[in-house]
Chain A
Amino acid sequence: MVKASAKSILVIDDASLVRLYYRDALERAGFQVTEAMNGLEALEKLLVEPADLLIVDVNMPKMDGLTFLKILRRQELPLAATPALVTSTESGPQDIDAARKAGANFYLVKPVAQDELAAYAAMFCGEPR
């Protein structure tokens, strides 16, 4: 049972298996996890319920992760300042740079291992509860 004070992470990725993999790792680490399948759905969910950390994939239908981040960073505080960890299949410096310019706080190359994800999540959120 997750306590109300648990840190919450919004996983934004259109691949259901990726979301499941991240959920599995993050819940075992004690985080509360919600999901969105593209940048638009993520914005809608965040307007209702903020998150302590975002895991944002880049390639998604309707609204890619970088466009989402740019819009997020234009919102009002504190929503605009939500930490965002971008995940991408790309590893080139220009891709990392593009993510940074869009407002990413960190960048991980896919596929991301579960222990790696949980470790970075804890770094950004502090302890899960």
Chain B
Amino acid sequence: MVFGESKRYYVDRRVTDRIAATGAQSFASYFARLRSDLNGEIEQFINAFTVNETYFYREEHQLRCLSSDLLAQRTARVDRTRTIRIWSIPCSTGEEPYSIAIWLLENWPQVDAYDIEIVGSDIDTQVLEAARSGIYGRRALMRLAPALIQKYFEPLDEDRWRVIEDLRQSVRFSPVNVVEASETRAYGQFDVIFCRNVLIYFDDASRRIAAENLFENLLPGGFICLGHTESMSRISPLFEVCRYADAIVYRRAREDADGKSVG
């Protein structure tokens, strides 16, 4: 990426944000942090400049949290006939839900013991079409090891790959407006919801309503993951905050038979 002088404010702003977000005391100490890639700062830095770009295995630490901690919590309480439901909303052009699928197939030891339903939703029907077609360029795949690309994609030409048919058919893509309860309600309740980097674009009222809708779409004890720089502290007190080794996530409280929160 090349920025001309006219973009100086844009660059300044993003660097300042990263300095503040990391608690660095000076540019020099931030720069040292960036050079040593402390806490994955390189990815954060790149994300700050490419917040609208999406790619496979973005924010991998949350995927790790999913397979290491979240699903263990969810499956501790269910019998094996119950489907594990995961929602990617917004799913954009599909990188996120396909990433979740691939990650689980590759990294979750219990993946064969449960049925897993992955749903990808977005307000934009065009991106949903793209997601269904499952065709991606080099940049989207840059974080995937060649072995994974070979296993889950078929090359269409030098610069495009397509998700294999089996996997494409395994994820449902459908439209939803996350601010409309009448639309979100129809999707039922999930074990884990990924709602990354969209609430930041809403006004305060819409953000709050979206959070309340997504609460309704969580099973008691279910988890919601926001983008790495986002926080429920600016949005809603509905969720409990949980810290795991790889990520901070939010949870709908578990409930007893009368619907009262427990634990």
The reply to whether A and B meet directly (CB within 8 Å) is: yes
Interface residues of A in 46-98 (CB under 8 A from B): 47-48, 62-63, 67
Flag if B243 contacts A47 (CB, 8 Å). Answer: yes
Inside 8 A of A41's CB, which chain B residues have their CB? 231, 233
Q: Which residues of B contact A36 (CB under 8 A)?
A: 233
B34 located at the interface, meaning its Cβ lies under 8 Å from any Cβ of chain A in the complex: no
Whole-angstrom distance between the alpha carbons of A47 and B231 in the complex?
A: 13
The answer on a CB contact under 8 Å between B233 and A47 is no
Cα–Cα distance between A75 and B219 once the two chains are bound (Å): 22
**B241 adjacent to A40 (CB under 8 Å):** yes
Task: Note all chain A residues with C-beta closer than 8 A to B237.
Answer: 39-40, 62-63, 67
Residue in contact with A48 in the complex, picked from B233, B234, B235, B243, CB distance below 8 Å: B243
* A38 at interface by CB-CB < 8 Å: yes
> B209 at the A/B interface (Cβ < 8 Å)?
no
The answer to the question of B236 belonging to the interface, with a C-beta cut-off of 8 Å to chain A, is yes
Rounded to whole angstroms, the CA-CA distance of A39 and B231 in the bound complex is 12
| Count of B interface residues, CB-CB < 8 Å | 11
Contact yes or no, B236 A47, CB < 8 A: no
Please measure, in the bound complex, the distance between the C-alpha atom of A40 and the C-alpha atom of B235, giving whole angstroms: 10
- B84 interface hit (Cβ, 8 Å): no
Contact flags B211-241 to A (C-beta < 8 A → 1, else 0): 0000000000000000000011111110001
Q: Which B residues are CB-close (under 8 A) to A37?
A: 233
Question: Distance (Å) between the CB of A68 and the closest chain B CB?
Answer: 10
The chain B residue sitting closest to A44, CB to CB, is B241
A117 to chain B, nearest CB (A): 23
CB of A43 within 8 Å of the partner chain: yes
Min CB gap B192→A, angstroms = 19
Q: Residues 92-104 of chain B: 1 if any A CB is under 8 Å from the residue's CB, otherwise 0? A: 0000000000000
Q: Count A interface residues, CB 8 Å.
A: 13
Q: Which of chain B's residues have a CB closer than 8 A to the CB of A62?
A: 233-237
Q: How far is the CA of A113 from the CA of B198 in the complex (A)?
A: 42
> What distance in Å separates the Cβ of A86 from its nearest Cβ neighbour in chain B?
19
Interchain CA distance A37-B235 in the complex, whole Å: 13
Residues A19-48 near B (CB distance < 8 A): 36-41, 43-44, 47-48
Q: How far is the CA of A47 from the CA of B242 in the complex (A)?
A: 8
Shortest CB–CB separation between residue A97 and chain B, in angstroms? 24
**CA separation between A38 and B233, bound complex, in Å?**
7
Q: Are A44 and B236 in contact (CB under 8 A)?
A: no
Check if B232 sits within 8 Å of A40, measured CB to CB: yes
Chain B residues within 8 Å of A40, by CB: 231-233, 237, 241
Q: How distant is the Cα of A43 from the Cα of B241 in the complex, in angstroms?
A: 8
B248 beta carbon closer than 8 Å to chain A = yes
Report the Cα distance A67→B238, complex, angstroms: 12
- Contact A47 B232, beta carbon cutoff 8 Å: no
CA A31 – CA B231 in complex, angstroms? 27
How many Å from the CB of A8 to the closest CB on chain B?
Answer: 13
Q: Which residues of A contact B242 (CB under 8 A)?
A: 47
* Chain B residues proximal to chain A, CB less than 8 Å: 231-237, 241-243, 248
Complex A-B, nearest 5 residue pairs according to Cβ-Cβ distance, in ascending order: A40-B233, A41-B233, A47-B243, A63-B237, A62-B237
15 A–B contact pairs at CB < 8 A?
A39-B237, A40-B241, A41-B231, A41-B233, A43-B241, A44-B231, A44-B233, A44-B241, A44-B248, A47-B241, A47-B242, A48-B248, A62-B234, A62-B235, A63-B233
Q: Write the residues of chain A forming the contact surface with B, with a CB cutoff of 8 angstroms.
A: 36-41, 43-44, 47-48, 62-63, 67
